[in-house]
Structures are given as structure tokens and as C-alpha cells.
Amino acid sequence: MTTRSRILSALTGAEPDRIPLTIYDGLMPRGLVERQLREAGLGLITRLPAHRVEHRRVEIRSCEYFEHGTKLLRRTIHTPLGEVWQTVETDQGYASNWIREHFIKKPEDYAVMESYLRDGVYHDNYDAIREAKRRIGDDGLVLVRVGKTPLQEMLYLMMGYEQFAVDFYENRDLFDSLHSTMVDRCQELYELAAEAPVEILQLADNITAEAIGSERFRNYLAPEYVKLKTRITGTGKLLAVHMDGRLRGLVDQISEAACDIVEGFTPPPMGDLSVSDARAAWPKKALWINFTSSMHLEPPRPD
């Protein structure tokens, strides 16, 4: 079997000739190490959006600067209704973005974010996806990264935990209006994702039970999974949701959720649900396991 066929076999409930190991290709060392790992069977996973965004009246500016020796990036969105900005620090180890200051800081920022969201025009990104598939060949898999569902994007990318919690209870009209706007725009993204030349779509939701809770999962996230899953029913495509947090508090909700793959599943010590418990709770879902840094740093076990 090729690396690609092993991955697809495991995710569809078949029996590959060996357990496939995968890595997001942005984390793969380049050069000789990459070639050796690919030849050994480590699968490259490339995640690309199915869409490109063209803005009509919105302008986005980025400015890099240093603060106390730390490199920061400020992104500012200029709209006809005003501007909002965020400050981002890049983790040099994993190239992850840590948001220090989020876009929404006060009630007036909601209207600006809605203006920004309505301004975009979506086009397909299929040529880039086909080129990525040609480049990787049988050494891995190209997924469509749909992004986060609206509520998760509000939490992680627009607001942060504290602002999210306060506004969910104290500014619910503004909160729900922004969410409704995002839900409407997501329907276009789902259409583009469903037609993309890939086998798997990924919602990058970064689920953890303590942050989202069962009620918000049921009322805000699960309906979006149903919409996307319904759109791809009969196409042969699978839906993966990135759930890399502590999931024991959402076991029943995830069991009922309209997705095929729990991607990024993180077992203990960082997660709170074992692989065996997850398999028992979700027998019809594939587990794509996230082996975290704490596991990589563990010394070898004696024979």
C-alpha cells in the first residue's frame, strides 16, 4: 500500500497493512530529513482552504514590530464602519499564532466585524488544491480546511475567553447578530468545500469540553456539522472535526455529532479520555490521534 492509501484505509474503517503515521506538512523538517521520513512512510497532511477571499471596500494591513525583544504582528481591518485590530505573537517552535489582543474589545467592534464579513467575495481555490495533490502524490493527503464553525471562530480568533464569556451573557444581541452573519457566510464556504477535489473536509474547531460546554456544542456547533455533512452525503467525502482538547464532558454530544472522524484526538496525559474509552463511545467514528509533545519527550519504556 502507498502512504496515501494507508491513511484513507484507516479513516474509512478498512485494514491497512500497517498503522499510518502522519504530520502536518508545515511541521515537517525540510531537506534530507524530509526525504528520509517520506520514504519511511510518514504521511504529509496538507490543509488548504477551498476558497479565496476578495475584498471590495475592506483593507487589511499588517505591521511587524518588537516589544521587549519579542516579535509581534498587528493586523488591522479597515472598514467603512471603522477599524478593529489584533496583536499576534508567533511561536517559533510550531509557527503557531498566539493572539495577545483580539479584534473585539468593546461593543462597537461588533458592527465593524460584521461589515468585514459581508464585504468578502469568495472564489474557489481548486487550482492550488490540485497543485498540492500533484506535489505530494502518494506520500500523503490534501485536506480542505473549512476553518472553524462560527462560534469557535468567535471564541478563538475574534474575542478570547474572557470577552466571549462576558458578551455571551451581557451583550447577547450583538453576539447573536455576529454569529448569524457568520452562519450565513459559511453556507458559501460549505458549497465550495463540498465541490473541492479532495476526499476529506476538516473543520478546525479545536474542541475542548471546558470551553464550549454541552449546551453550546448542541445549539451552535452541532447544527453546522449537520449542514456540512448533509451537503457531502453521497459524494464519498468524509467530514473530520479537529477535537484536540479534553473531551470527556462531551462524550455523548460527540457520539451524536454529524462527523466521520475525530481528528487531533489527544489521549492522556494532556487529554482526559483514553483511546479505548473513545473507541467504545464512538464506534462509528475514526480516531486520528494527536501524539503531543509530552509523549515525544517521554523516555523509552523498558522492555
Instruction: Kindly give the confidence (pLDDT) of every residue in the chain, 303 residues in length, as a single tens digit, with 9 standing for 90 and above.
Output: 999 999 999 999 999 999 999 999 988 888 999 899 999 999 999 999 999 999 999 999 999 999 988 899 999 999 999 999 999 997 766 667 899 999 999 999 999 999 999 999 999 999 999 999 999 999 999 999 999 999 999 999 999 999 999 999 999 999 999 999 999 999 999 999 999 999 999 999 999 999 999 999 999 999 999 999 999 999 999 999 999 999 999 999 999 999 999 999 999 989 999 999 999 999 999 999 998 777 777 788 776
CB neighbourhood size of 211 (10 A): 16
Q: Is 14 exposed, middle or buried (0-12, 13-18, 19+ CB in 10 A)?
A: exposed
- Whole-angstrom Cα distance, residue 96 to residue 175? 27
Domain annotation for the chain: domains and CATH numbers: 3-55+106-292 (3.20.20.210)
Confidence (pTM): 0.93
Helices H, strands E: what count in the chain? Answer: 12, 13
